[in-house]
Amino acid sequence: MDLLSEGDKPSSQQAQAPVNHPSAPVPSTDTGARVEALIAALKAAGTDITADYNDWLKVGFALAGEFGESGRRYFHAISSLYPGYDQAESDTKYTECLKSDSGRTDISTLFYLAKNQGVTLERPANAPGTSHDIPRKKGQSDKNVPLSLLEDDPEEMPLLPVFPESIFPSLPSLLKEVTDLMITDQERSLVLIGSIATISSALLPFRTVYFGKTIYPNMYLFVPGPAGAGKGKLDFCLRLVMPIHKEKLERWNTAKDEYRKEYARYKRQKKGENIDPPEKPPIQMLRVPANSSATSFAQAMAENGNLLMFETEGDTVVNSFSSDFGNYSDSFRKAFAHESFGYLRRGDDGEEKEIDNPRLSTVLSGTPEQVKSLIRDAENGLLSRFMFFCINATPEWMDGFDSYGSDAPLEDTFNAIGARFCAFAKTLENTPTIRFSLSLPQIGKFNDFFKAEKQRMQDVNGDRYSASSHRLAWCFLRVAMVLTALRMMDSGDVRETVECADVDFDATLEIIRVISVHNDYIFNVLDRERPEGIAVADSYSAATRKTILAALPGYFKTDDMKDVARKVGKTLRTVRRQVARAIQAGEVLQVKHGEYKKI
């Protein structure tokens, strides 16, 4: 049956008939036949699976990845079931899908979306996915894979770890207080790393020496996650330093008012008064707007020396970098290591400025696509400078009326904690330099950890990822400095030299272990040298698989997989798929039907 025959009309009067492109015909394959059967079932049921824009894109990517240009007919046929179907718009969208397809959405997504709307197909005995014909992606082995484990559903985001429960009870009181306010493990981990990165912008006297170079606490953090995953909790962390920012702005506004008065007096002077023109007051702020131009950012850095860029909408930063990419990216990369950079001030004076010892803390969040827009590939130098903490959407509904254990808004609570931190930051101003160090046993553990970590990174990702192990060591020292500073806040004992406590060293080690896993994942998302046809989760499913395998007993059955699925908060499909991949990787052996053994 020709799916695009004259009799197939969309249900809406405004809708237009699907276009029949003279492109190459759809190959006669089992998959093509199943897609045609699915479209017929969707039409018979009057079911639209494209009402949600993201689902519409998934349909496009699934068809583009499977059929290329030939899939355009199918895309129009499915899109035409939407009451507001527009032929030209759908045609343009499919062209975009062809150009942008990354191979991460396969044809199984189409059947999954239909299944969610109650439309499924019965499989014939020789259909793909049964014991007679199992389709393989390029690079996948079919050796010793139990056929019952291969399911037609889209790849889920890897189950990346959160920070271990053991570190939270012993955190400095400020961090313990803010993390205790959170409900889920993911929220607690998010607020922990967000608070650490934000506070790193306000510890001016702290520094340490590593490879002969002075390092300050300032660090870069990016939190990728889908819409609705809870990235908004990160915004509470900003309130911990907002009193400092507001005080600086108030001083700047007062100085600007005085400047305007003096300038007006200068302009009104009479002949012979010889009043010199006043100098513009330097910029005073802590948080620099993310939508600043590269030159404005550089001027703010030159006049402050220390800044925080905090932005929860990734598009804002992406747009700023895109409009002035070269200078901005260069300044960011250099500021990470406190390397000097210059800029030319626009205006009549045309003054060239050199910024020595810039200090920048950065806290950003956005969708995974925004990460790829900001850091376009694994070769980009920004990648290794950021710590990443990826978050997932919460699968279950949460009661927003009975959460967080208090009638007081979290804004008020974080504001109060921020006021206390601001008072501590002021006391630090009386000590020009606070030199941080590790103890000799800690240095030994530090070197052992990063020696093994560098080897692991090279084994997994090759030499191109080598720089990340060195910069991760900088992040370790920076996190440890923040924990040590907050421990100093607890004791009230501000000294010019301070050694990291063992409890803070151990907590930092656990934090960096987790961050390293998240950084690995982002590297593989951006890695253009990944084998063609292998999805990200195929090339990097270790995070999910390790968690699932660790929870399974040495000898396990299907019921054990069901228990683990509940325990780790994933679907049974995901557990079964990861067990299938563990079998492919030689980590699990299928003893007999429904019974498995870890190797």
Task: Give the pLDDT band of residue 417 (cuts 50, 70, 90).
Answer: very high
Task: Give the pLDDT band of residue 389 (cuts 50, 70, 90).
Answer: very high
* Residue at a domain's end among 135, 161, 179: 135
For 590, residues 6+ apart whose C-beta sits below 8 A from its C-beta are 144, 146, 583, 596
- Which has the closest alpha carbon to 471: 505, 427, 515? 515
Lowest mean pLDDT among 236-240, 339-343, 437-441, 496-500: 339-343
pLDDT at 239 over 90: yes
Q: Is 588 helix (H, G, I), strand (E, B) or coil?
A: strand
Q: Is 422 helix (H, G, I), strand (E, B) or coil?
A: helix
- Which has the closest alpha carbon to 109: 528, 546, 537? 537
> What is residue 149's predicted lDDT score, i.e. its pLDDT?
36
Pairing status of strand 588-592 against strand 497-499: unpaired
| Token pair in block for residue 156 | 């889920």
pLDDT at 12 over 50: no
**Domain holding 573: CATH number?**
1.10.10.10
Helices (H), 275-404: 294-304, 314-323, 325-336, 368-374
What is the pLDDT averaged over residues 24-35? 63
| Token pair in block for residue 200 | 């790193």
pLDDT tens figures, 155-166: 344 567 899 999
Global pTM? 0.64
Task: Give the pLDDT band of residue 332 (cuts 50, 70, 90).
Answer: confident
Which 8-state DSSP code applies to residue 159?
A: -
| Token pair in block for residue 55 | 């689902």
pLDDT at 575 over 50: yes
- How does 239-278 read in b/e, with b if 16+ C-beta sit within 10 Å? bbbbbbbeebeeebeeeeeeeeeeeeeeeeeeeeeeeeee
Question: 271 lies in a domain?
Answer: no
410 has which bridge partners?
none
- Which has the closest alpha carbon to 473: 441, 438, 424, 503? 438
What is the pLDDT averaged over residues 410-419? 94
* Residue at a domain's end among 135, 164, 198: 135
Lowest mean pLDDT among 85-94, 242-251, 322-331, 361-370: 322-331
* Residue at a domain's end among 97, 115, 135: 135
The average confidence (pLDDT) of the chain is: 79
Q: Which amino acid is at 406?
A: S
* Chain center to CA of 425: 29
Question: 300 lies in a domain?
Answer: no
pLDDT at 592 over 50: yes
How many C-beta atoms surround the C-beta of residue 113 within 10 A?
23
Give residue 351's region: left, alpha or beta (phi > 0; psi -120 to 50). Answer: beta
Percent composition of the chain: helix, strand, coil (DSSP 3-state, to 5): 50, 10, 40
> What is residue 257's predicted lDDT score, i.e. its pLDDT?
94
For 166, residues 6+ apart whose C-beta sits below 8 A from its C-beta are 510
Question: 510 lies in a domain?
Answer: no
- Which has the closest alpha carbon to 377: 423, 316, 329, 344? 329
pLDDT at 326 over 60: no
* Chain center to CA of 97: 23
- Number of folded domains that form the chain: 2
- How does 65-85 read in b/e, with b if 16+ C-beta sit within 10 Å? bbbeebbbbbbbbbbbbbeeb
Question: 39 lies in a domain?
Answer: yes
Question: 38 lies in a domain?
Answer: yes
Greater confidence (446 vs 148) lies with 446
Which 8-state DSSP code applies to residue 497?
A: E
> What is residue 104's predicted lDDT score, i.e. its pLDDT?
54
d(CA 520, CA 543): 9
363 has which bridge partners?
221, 310
Question: 221 lies in a domain?
Answer: no
The helix/strand count (H/E) of the chain reads as 21, 13
- Which has the closest alpha carbon to 386: 221, 266, 500? 221
* Percent of the chain surpassing pLDDT 70: 77
> What is residue 134's predicted lDDT score, i.e. its pLDDT?
31
Which 8-state DSSP code applies to residue 287?
A: B
Question: 87 lies in a domain?
Answer: yes
Question: 477 lies in a domain?
Answer: no
Task: Give the pLDDT band of residue 583 (cuts 50, 70, 90).
Answer: confident
pLDDT at 395 over 70: no
Which 8-state DSSP code applies to residue 219?
A: -
Lowest mean pLDDT among 14-23, 242-251, 276-285, 370-379: 14-23
- Per the listing, tokens 């969040």 go with 365
Greater confidence (199 vs 320) lies with 199
What is the pLDDT averaged over residues 285-294? 86
In which domain, by residue range, is 549 found? Answer: 541-598
> What is residue 324's predicted lDDT score, i.e. its pLDDT?
57
Contact status, residue 127 vs residue 76, Cβ threshold 8 Å: no
d(CA 323, CA 325): 6
Long-range (24+ apart) CB contacts under 8 A made by 342-350 are 342/298, 343/294, 343/295, 343/298, 343/299, 343/302, 344/295, 345/295, 345/299, 346/295
pLDDT at 62 over 80: yes
Lowest mean pLDDT among 65-74, 438-447, 494-503: 65-74
> What is residue 352's predicted lDDT score, i.e. its pLDDT?
72
pLDDT tens figures, 186-235: 899 999 999 999 999 999 999 999 999 999 999 999 998 877 777 888 99
pLDDT tens figures, 91-120: 888 888 887 655 556 787 888 888 878 888
pLDDT at 8 over 70: no
pLDDT tens figures, 115-145: 878 888 764 444 333 333 333 333 333 333 3
State whether the Cα torsion 407-410-411-412 is positive or negative.
Answer: positive
Measured between alpha carbons, how far is residue 585 from residues 65, 78, 409 in Å? 25, 37, 49
- Which has the closest alpha carbon to 365: 309, 420, 419, 322? 309
* Sheet-wide strand order for 206-210: 213-215, 206-210, 434-437, 497-499
